[in-house]
Amino acid sequence: GAVVSQHPSWVICKSGTSVKIECRSLDFQATTMFWYRQFPKQSLMLMATSNEGSKATYEQGVEKDKFLINHASLTLSTLTVTSAHPEDSSFYICSARDNRNEAFFGQGTRLTVV
Amino acid sequence: DAKTTQPPSMDCAEGRAANLPCNHSTISGNEYVYWYRQIHSQGPQYIIHGLKNNETNEMASLIITEDRKSSTLILPHATLRDTAVYYCIVRVGGGNAGNMLTFGGGTRLMVKP
């Protein structure tokens, strides 16, 4: 199957700082990528849909000014958590859709805000 | 996308077949059944999908009932590494229908020695 790479795998940051997470499709072009968040013992919750060259579409309750998404190329989408707070600590997962419309997931990024 | 119902947890003995059920009674004619699994602290991994025929690949078999209202994922010889949360998802396949995946609670499969 297609490979989606997320970086970093884990990050610890101080409250008030910003953190950028990268999601790359390594062997295919992805016009659409999805960002999910997963809290402990819970399921994945969709945060936003990222479309190459256009603004992301955010799910209800997700602050677009706090979770900045950039999808500037067909192989890279970034999620920046701005002014992070401890409640933003979570497992962030990206997914990229290939030209057959199948979704492949990154390995996830564990963010801890201290 | 149609909603799915799965048991929250199941146990299986190592080497035995693991049969994970999923109910999707409101599935539409153009919706596929997808299965993913998530091993602890990793991203979801695609397993298999089908529309109405039974499917088999190197990982698992998918049995879909004739009325398509339920399905069963079968891991023929479960190993300890198959311990994970298994998600059954129904969604429109192909085309450009949005296609973000909506995850329910899944089934936490524990394979025991």
pLDDT digits (tens, 9 = 90+) for A38-48: 999 899 999 99
B33 vs B94, residue with greater confidence: B33
pLDDT value of residue B99: 59
Please report which helix (H) or strand (E) contains residue B87, including its range. strand B84-92
| Whether the predicted pLDDT of B93 surpasses 80 | no
Nearest neighbour of B42 by CB, restricted to A4, A32, A107:
A107
Band of the pLDDT at B23, cuts 50, 70, 90? Answer: very high
* Residue of A9, A101, A104, A107 to mutate, interface with B, max B Cβ within 10 Å: A101
Cis peptide before A40 (omega within 30 of 0): no
- Per-residue confidence band for B96, with pLDDT thresholds at 50, 70 and 90: very low
* Partner A contacted by B87 (CB < 8 A): yes
Q: Flag whether residue B106 sits within 8 Å of chain A, measured between CB atoms.
A: yes
Tell me if chain A has a CB within 8 Å of the CB of B15: no
- Name B80's Cβ contacts closer than 8 Å, sequence gap at least 6: B14, B111, B113
The pair phi, psi for residue A75, each rounded to 5°, is -125, 5
Residue B87 scores a pLDDT above 50: yes
- Paired with B10 in beta bridges are B109
Q: Is the pLDDT confidence value at B98 over 70?
A: no
CB B44 to CB A45 under 8 A? no
pLDDT tens digits for B48-85? 999 999 999 999 999 999 999 999 999 999 999 999 99
The closest CB to that of B106, out of A43, A102, A104, belongs to: A43
Q: Which of residues 38-57 of A touch B (CB under 8 A)?
A: 43-46, 49
Place of tokens 């209202």: B69
- Residue A85: its pLDDT value, please? 96
Segment B82-100 mean pLDDT: 77
Q: What is the pLDDT of residue B35?
A: 95
Neighbouring-strand partners of residue A81: A19, A67
Per-residue tokens: A110: 């564990």
Residue A2 Cα distances to A49, A98, A105, B85, angstroms: 19, 8, 9, 21
- Beta strand B61-64 with A10-13 is unpaired
- Spatial distance between the Cα atoms of A77 and B39, rounded to a whole number of angstroms: 24
Amino acid letter, residue B6: Q
pLDDT at B100 exceeding the cut of 50: yes
Mean pLDDT for chain B overall? 91
Write out residues in chain A with pLDDT < 70, as ranges: 1
